[in-house]
Amino acid sequence: MLRDRLLQQFIQEGRKPVLLVVDDQPINIRAINEVFKDECDVLMATNGRSALQIAREQRPDLILLDIIMPEMDGYQVCQQLSLDSITADIPVIFVTAETEVNVEARGFEVGAVDFITKPFNPLIVRARVMNHLILKIQMDIMKDMALIDGLTGLPNRRRFDQALLGDWNLCQREQKNVALLMIDVDYFKRYNDSYGHLAGDECLKSIARALQASVRRTSDSSCRYGGEEFACLLPFTDQEGAVLCAENIINEVKNLNIEHKTSDVSSFVTVSIGIAVRTPTLDVQVEQLVKEADEALYTSKQTGRNKFTVYAL
């Protein structure tokens, strides 16, 4: 079945589905864990506040949520999840002993996608949960495709904007530096005119691979910003680290040995880089970092190309 093939592919890629089970009775959590322990990573919470915290931090693929709980019931938890941009897309299935129609109606109103009635049948629970998991996986795949540049395979501008805002906010909370490198292929229009657009596409693909080879930490990211322009985002990175990354990129591109006879700076393809480094504060907008990296890139291009420039605060 398509459902089983998708699930197996998901698991083979090392992305085992994650369930969050929320119930104030540990015996119910253990029972659900027995059903899914072989196919899913099962997280557990015994109250609503813990559930909200775990959902934000771990971002499970699906939540199984009890309705009747002390302090914060399932309806309240579901409402809070739907109001938070980080957790709003996580499907919620209510697990309840209630069978009245108004219970289900209210559940759907606050954002639940399905109901499971206690005491539950393991086969029914598994079938319903797996159906919703597959829908979630399919939606995630579609979202990922929308955030990937079709030519280079790197994240696209839209994904970059999301990552930039996330890293900016994170570094602001931690009071750490975030570095941004804006990268432009030198005389790329001349390259296209001389070697053709197909060769130009292959050139951009090669440069994308060079960027990936230069940006090694899992917290760092590179993207195709647009046209022949790329960007590298380096959270928790000071100026020294950003300069080292820029040097690596320039050398990796140089080592590609892509012929470029119409360049004024080299007989091979080269890049220019602008670097901006900041510790985010409340009175500075994230757009300022992009502006500063762009200005540094402009300086590199105006002062010889095939080099990097650090924006001076």
Q: Per-domain residue ranges for the chain?
A: 2-146, 157-310
CA distances from 19 to 23, 74, 211, 240 (A): 13, 16, 35, 41
Q: Report d(CA 313, CA 304) in Å as an integer.
A: 22
- Assign domain 157-310 one CATH number from 3.40.50.300, 3.30.70.270, 3.40.605.10, 1.20.1070.10: 3.30.70.270
pLDDT of 236-268, one tens digit each?
999 999 999 999 999 999 999 999 999 999 999
- Is the per-residue pLDDT at 228 higher than 70? yes
Query: Is the pTM here over 0.75, yes or no?
Result: no
Q: Report d(CA 3, CA 114) in Å as an integer.
A: 18
pLDDT of 160-195, one tens digit each?
998 999 899 989 999 999 999 999 999 999 999 999
CATH for the stretch 2-146: 3.40.50.2300
Q: Report d(CA 205, CA 214) in Å as an integer.
A: 14
pLDDT of 15-27, one tens digit each?
688 999 999 999 9
